[in-house]
Amino acid sequence: MTQIVLTLLLVALAAAGFCLGRHRAARLSGGRPSVLHSRPVYHGWFVALACGLPAISLWIATLVVGDWLVESAIVASLSQELQEASGPVLRRFLSDAETLAAGGTPTMEVTPALEAAADAFSRFRALEHWIGFGAALGAGLVASRVAFRRIDIPARTRQPVERVLLAVLLVAAAISVLTTAGIVFSVLFEAIRFFDKVPVPDFLFGLKWSPQIALREDQVGSSGAFGAVPLFAGTLLVTVIAMAVAGPVGLLSAIYLAEYADPRFRAVAKPMLEVLAGIPTVVYGFFAALIVAPALRSAGMGIGLDVASESALAAGLVMGIMIIPFVSSLTDDALAAVPAALRDASLGLGATRQETVTRVVLPAALPGIVAGFLLAVSRAVGETMIVVMAAGLAANLTANPLDTVTTVTVQIVTLLVGDQEFDSAKTLAAFALGLALFVMTLGLNVVALRVVHRYREKYD
Amino acid sequence: MTDPAPAMTSYHLSEKAGRRLRRRYARERGFKVLSLGALGLTALFLVILLGSVVLSGWSGFITTKMRLDVTYSESHVDAGDPSSGNIRMVVLDALRERFPDVSDRRGLRALLGIVSNRGFLDVGREVAGDPALVGRTVEFWLPVSSDIDMLNKGYIDRTAPEDRRRLDDRTIAWIDDLEASGDIATVFNWTFLTSGDSREPELAGIGGAVLGSFWVLLVTFLVSFPTGVAAAIYLEEFAPKRRWVDIIEVNINNLAAVPSIVFGLLGLAVFLNVMHLPRSAPVVGGLTLALMTLPTIIITTRASMKGIPPSIRDAALGIGASPVQVVSHHLLPLAMPRLLTGAIIGMAQALGETAPLLMIGMVAFVVDLPGGPADAATALPVQIFLWADSPERGFVEKTSAAIMVLLGFLVAMNGLAVYLRQRFEIRW
């Protein structure tokens, strides 16, 4: 809480610097801003940044370094026994002491040692805050005083302000790269720790998936089995069913919209597809689990087939419905990119529309359509909620769509939802699966882009 | 004089040709019908999907209440300390008075089971707030338990054998009796819209989840909009056209195709395990979804900046504006409507997202309404996921009703985006 208040105080100081700087520049110009090299606003920003940048960075630095110092000081004051305790125990003790210092309820019993630590926490923290704040305030005041003095008619304050702004823009652009790097490293790092416990070939080619770790050492199957083949097979099965629905339906819908429909019909049908695309996946999951799956089960009973209540078919069908708009809009784009001259020539030779579509337009649009299908597959592979809600947990290695299968995403969710200890192979397995998922979807994406680039016909 | 004979033998006019032509036309018609059928099938899916949600969800917005005249007798409630009175006995006495012929233990327990737990709280709160009520009789409309609610809405089959039904014949007879005397009412379910989650379906609401979603979206917007716009401006206007800019560009496109659950893994590993931010908090959910919406916002921003004619840039530069001023004085204000449209669509996507929130622990059972972005909370889609898993019949209608609310929000957001686009669109 104090941190927030003190941070706001520093921001307020910078804002005051902005007003003062702008005011001084405006007064110097004597009512004619054009005599200034930089407009008054830039002088204001100049002072504000001169005040805020050093102050806030110093403040953050003291918070980071100070926290570390406070923690090591407290650890040093602890009893021998606790100091030698393992990492998690010490961590829990420290976080409990911190909670107690903040007035909360700690997770373990309040002991004198804990109280002493909490007491030390609150004292050191207060000290840290005031020293840090004092330093930040001093630096801000000195720097803004220097900046304020530099305000003059020929002073070139616009350039430094714009340089800071550009740096901010560059940092923002770098965040997207950092996100990718973050995904790769966080997933890769945990996956490597997983592969320390389970060898890569066992994971990639093992036929048995049962991640339950036994409570006792001597229990049967105590090591857990991490063979991911059943998960890949299940993902493949659900994806194939989904594409069997979405492929033809999406393709034909796009053909009708692009080749047959008049603009008024398009104006109705396009939004309908957009609505379908905008429905959250959790709604599709609900639909699959509570409506489609029971319906399929009773239909199967009617004709003497035994359909599992969490069949791959239900999940795949609904996933297919979800992907229809995706396929159809990408196909629509590909068809629209085929020049009208090709169509006109074909029709002019007497071909029917159907002949034009199947023999001229589709071959010309093929790279785009293939790329669209690949992107749709990548969507289906990474889709989570539908399969979590409608597909099962049993890792069966089967090609029967009426059976229960499980997918990569389902297992990631199952392994990570709920309480977890972060070092067990079970938790780390989720990251290994995440890595596999990331590599698969990225691969499909890259291949799709390649297909478009390499095989696209140029018609200009 | 024309002779038809040679014409009949020509390749194009022979009888064979006629058959060929008819076949081609038939194939053409078949193809057209087939592709129209595909569209029709899609429409049918949409209708079934929405229809089944509405059909099972509309009753989630209404609830059943029963009238009961409750007497706060001095033997159960002490006027000096009314908040510690035995409210169960007070309600039981009132029910006994209403159904005098019930006297056995099981019957009395079943009688108490009609009233929802919230009903006891209501009765207790009333007298705690006004001790003068002790010894007096007050008329209450109390919420009934979920089974009775289901019966009143017609979800319980009265013709089924008694042992295969959730309510026995006697309870049904009581309810019919209450109904006949006008003591049962069906009212709008405000509890559903305002309260948090509950183990009991009749008391469960989406208020907490909606608030949780609000905090998540607020954080998402505050992080992803400025960052995304700044990144796009840099790439579009200031970045030197060098190789690593291409890399950023390819990277952004790939990031847009990464499955959302992988972003959840990132949030778990970075925000929770490295930065030690609180589990289940909207601020973590918001940050995770912000990283996910960032590519969308960057892509729409770049598209709208590209759409501004170069003459505007040239004119501003020509009268002495610096490149930064060109952006901040001209390009950004002109692009703003499309930027906001893109941001709203991005937020709508983030609102419907569930999987990453599961990863960072926003699936907790949260009864209290979250007061800020650091409190434990769930989000609306996660609440739907949780309820869809609950076996009770009463949660089915709640799930569908929550879906209707979620879809309502999405329609409103997308409608706003369409309105903004049409209202402020500039055609060059």
What is each CA distance from A82 to A125, A231, A351, B55, in whole angstroms? Answer: 21, 43, 86, 60
Angle, to 10 degrees, between the axis of helix A362-382 and the axis of helix A312-336?
Answer: 140
**Could you give phi then psi for residue B128, rounded to 5 degrees?**
-65, -35
Q: How far apart are the first and last CA of chain A?
A: 63
Query: Does position A222 have pLDDT exceeding 60, yes or no?
Result: no
- The pLDDT value recorded for residue A106 is 67
- The pLDDT value recorded for residue A83 is 66
Residue B365 touches partner A, C-beta closer than 8 Å: no
* Count of alpha carbons within 13 angstroms of residue B384, beta-carbon side: 33
Question: Are the Cβ atoms of A289 and B388 closer than 8 angstroms?
Answer: yes
Bigger pLDDT: A215 vs B81: B81
Are B99 and B171 in contact, with CB atoms under 8 Å apart?
Answer: no
- The pLDDT value recorded for residue B3 is 54
Query: Does position A211 have pLDDT exceeding 80, yes or no?
Result: no
Q: From chain A, pick out residues whose CB is under 8 angstroms from the CB of B233.
A: 169
Query: Does position B8 have pLDDT exceeding 70, yes or no?
Result: no
Q: Which of A448, A134, A93, A261 is nearest to B40 (CA)?
A: A261
Q: Which of A91, A64, A97 is nearest to A423 (CA)?
A: A91
The whole-angstrom separation of Cα A315 and Cα A303 is 20
Structure tokens at A298: 């009773």
**Candidate from A357-361, B127-131, B209-213, B214-218 with smallest mean pLDDT:** B127-131
- The pLDDT value recorded for residue A88 is 65
Token pair 């969308």 is at which residue? B296
Are B166 and B148 in contact, with CB atoms under 8 Å apart?
Answer: no
Token pair 């407009």 is at which residue? A39
A vs B, Cβ pairs < 8 A, gives 240
ipTM for the predicted complex comes to 0.87
Token pair 């790279």 is at which residue? A367
Q: Point out the residue among A260, A285, A384 whose CB comes nearest to the CB of B261.
A: A384
The residue type found at A459 is: Y
The whole-angstrom separation of Cα A190 and Cα A422 is 10
Instruction: Please name the residues in contact with B138: beta carbons below 8 A apart, sequence gap of 6 or more.
Output: B69, B70, B71, B72, B126
* Count of alpha carbons within 13 angstroms of residue B11, beta-carbon side: 0
- The pLDDT value recorded for residue A80 is 67
Provide the 3-class DSSP secondary structure of residue B314.
Answer: helix
- The pLDDT value recorded for residue A458 is 66
Query: Does position A387 have pLDDT exceeding 80, yes or no?
Result: yes
- DSSP class of residue B159 equals T
Are B146 and B392 in contact, with CB atoms under 8 Å apart?
Answer: yes
Structure tokens at A293: 């799956």
- Bridging pattern class, strands A225-226 and A209-210: antiparallel
Instruction: Please name the residues in contact with B147: beta carbons below 8 A apart, sequence gap of 6 or more.
Output: B113, B156, B166, B167, B394
The residue type found at A221 is: G
Q: Which of B380, B264, B315, B148 is nearest to A187 (CA)?
A: B264
- The pLDDT value recorded for residue A392 is 77
Are A380 and B54 in contact, with CB atoms under 8 Å apart?
Answer: no
Structure tokens at B176: 């019919």
* A interface test, pick of B11, B36, B49, B299 with most A CB neighbours within 10 Å: B49
* Highest mean pLDDT (candidates A224-228, B161-165, B397-401): B397-401
Q: Which of A128, A1, A135, A139 is nearest to A65 (CA)?
A: A128
Percentage of chain B exceeding pLDDT 70:
98
Query: Does position A308 have pLDDT exceeding 90, yes or no?
Result: no
Mean pLDDT over each residue of chain A, to the nearest integer: 83
Q: What is the pLDDT of residues A107-141, one digit of tens each?
A: 677 777 777 777 877 788 788 878 888 888 888 88
Residue B54 touches partner A, C-beta closer than 8 Å: no
Token pair 């019949």 is at which residue? B393
- The pLDDT value recorded for residue A105 is 67
Percentage of chain A exceeding pLDDT 70:
91
Are A437 and A409 in contact, with CB atoms under 8 Å apart?
Answer: yes
- The pLDDT value recorded for residue A418 is 65
Q: What is the pLDDT of residues B150-170, one digit of tens each?
A: 888 878 777 777 777 777 777
Q: Point out the residue among B43, B353, B403 whose CB comes nearest to the CB of A283.
A: B403
* Highest mean pLDDT (candidates A441-445, B102-106, B167-171, B275-279): A441-445
Q: How far apart are the first and last CA of chain B?
A: 65
Q: Which of A191, A245, A211 is nearest to A414 (CA)?
A: A211
Q: If 0-12 CB within 10 Å is exposed, 13-18 middle and 19+ buried, where does residue A349 land?
A: exposed
* Count of alpha carbons within 13 angstroms of residue A180, beta-carbon side: 19
Q: Point out the residue among A183, A290, A417 whose CB comes nearest to the CB of B363.
A: A417
Question: Are the Cβ atoms of B38 and A282 closer than 8 angstroms?
Answer: no
- The pLDDT value recorded for residue B11 is 76
Bigger pLDDT: B110 vs A247: A247
Angle, to 10 degrees, between the axis of helix B15-57 and the axis of helix A263-278?
Answer: 40
Percentage of chain A exceeding pLDDT 90:
18
Q: Which of A375, A373, A347, A374 is nearest to A361 (CA)?
A: A347
Are A153 and A32 in contact, with CB atoms under 8 Å apart?
Answer: no
Query: Does position B83 have pLDDT exceeding 70, yes or no?
Result: yes
Residue B416 touches partner A, C-beta closer than 8 Å: no
Q: Which of B189, B162, B221 is nearest to B348 (CA)?
A: B221
Catalogue the E-assigned strands of B149-223.
184-188
- The pLDDT value recorded for residue A255 is 93
Are A289 and B421 in contact, with CB atoms under 8 Å apart?
Answer: no
Q: What chain B residue is nearest to A411 in terms of C-alpha separation?
A: B261
Query: Does position A321 have pLDDT exceeding 90, yes or no?
Result: yes
Instruction: Please name the residues in contact with A316: beta carbons below 8 A apart, sequence gap of 6 or more.
Output: A237, A238, A239, A240, A241, A242, A244, A245, A401
Query: Does position B5 have pLDDT exceeding 70, yes or no?
Result: no
Residue B1 Cα, gap to closest chain A Cα (Å): 30
Structure tokens at B10: 């020509």
Question: Are the Cβ atoms of A291 and B27 closer than 8 angstroms?
Answer: no
Annotate chain A with three-state secondary structure: CHHHHHHHHHHHHHHHHHHHHHHHHHHHHCCCHHHCCCCHHHHHHHHHHHHHHHHHHHHHHHHHHHHHHHHHHHHHHCCHHHHCCCHHHHHHHHHHHHHHHCCCCCCCCCCHHHHHHHHHHHHHHHHHHHHHHHHHHHHHHHHHHHHHHHCCCCCCCHHHHHHHHHHHHHHHHHHHHHHHHHHHHHHHHHHHHHHHHCCHHHHHHCCCEECCCCCCCCCCCCCCEECCHHHHHHHHHHHHHHHHHHHHHHHHHHHHHHHHCCHHHHHHHHHHHHHHHHCCHHHHHHHHHHHHHHHHHHHHHHCCCCCCCCCHHHHHHHHHHHHHHHHHHHHHHHHHCCCHHHHHHHHHCCCCHHHHHHHHHHHHHHHHHHHHHHHHHHHHHHCCHHHHHHCCCCCCCCCCCCCCCCCHHHHHHHHHCCCCCCCCHHHHHHHHHHHHHHHHHHHHHHHHHHHHHHHCCCCC
Q: Give the pLDDT mean for A151-156.
A: 80
Residue B318 Cα, gap to closest chain A Cα (Å): 17
Instruction: Tell me the Ramachandran region of residue A343: left when phi exceeds 0, alpha when psi lies from -120 to 50, beta otherwise.
Output: alpha
Residue B38 touches partner A, C-beta closer than 8 Å: yes
Q: Which of B276, B144, B137, B131 is nearest to B200 (CA)?
A: B144
Bigger pLDDT: B24 vs B127: B24
Bigger pLDDT: A110 vs A146: A146
* B interface test, pick of A164, A169, A352 with most B CB neighbours within 10 Å: A169
Residue B128 touches partner A, C-beta closer than 8 Å: no
Q: Which of A122, A124, A138 is nearest to A10 (CA)?
A: A138
Query: Does position B371 have pLDDT exceeding 90, yes or no?
Result: no
- The pLDDT value recorded for residue A214 is 47
The whole-angstrom separation of Cα B174 and Cα A380 is 52
Structure tokens at A450: 């390649």
**Candidate from A41-45, A142-146, B5-9 with smallest mean pLDDT:** B5-9
Mean pLDDT over each residue of chain B, to the nearest integer: 84
Q: What is the pLDDT of residues A24-79, one digit of tens each?
A: 888 887 777 777 788 888 888 888 888 888 888 888 888 788 878 877 777 777 76
Bigger pLDDT: A161 vs A216: A161
Q: What is the pLDDT of residues B292-349, one digit of tens each?
A: 999 989 988 988 888 889 899 999 999 988 888 899 888 998 888 888 888 998 999 9
- The pLDDT value recorded for residue A85 is 65
Q: From chain B, pick out residues whose CB is under 8 angstroms from the CB of A179.
A: 255, 266, 291, 294
- The pLDDT value recorded for residue A345 is 93
Count the residues in chain B.
428
- Bridging pattern class, strands B62-71 and A225-226: unpaired
Residue B407 touches partner A, C-beta closer than 8 Å: yes
The whole-angstrom separation of Cα A411 and Cα A413 is 5
Q: Which of A52, A47, A55, A53 is nearest to A18 (CA)?
A: A47
Residue B399 touches partner A, C-beta closer than 8 Å: yes
pTM attached to this predicted model: 0.86
Question: Are the Cβ atoms of A276 and B400 closer than 8 angstroms?
Answer: no
Instruction: Please name the residues in contact with B389: beta carbons below 8 A apart, sequence gap of 6 or more.
Output: A389
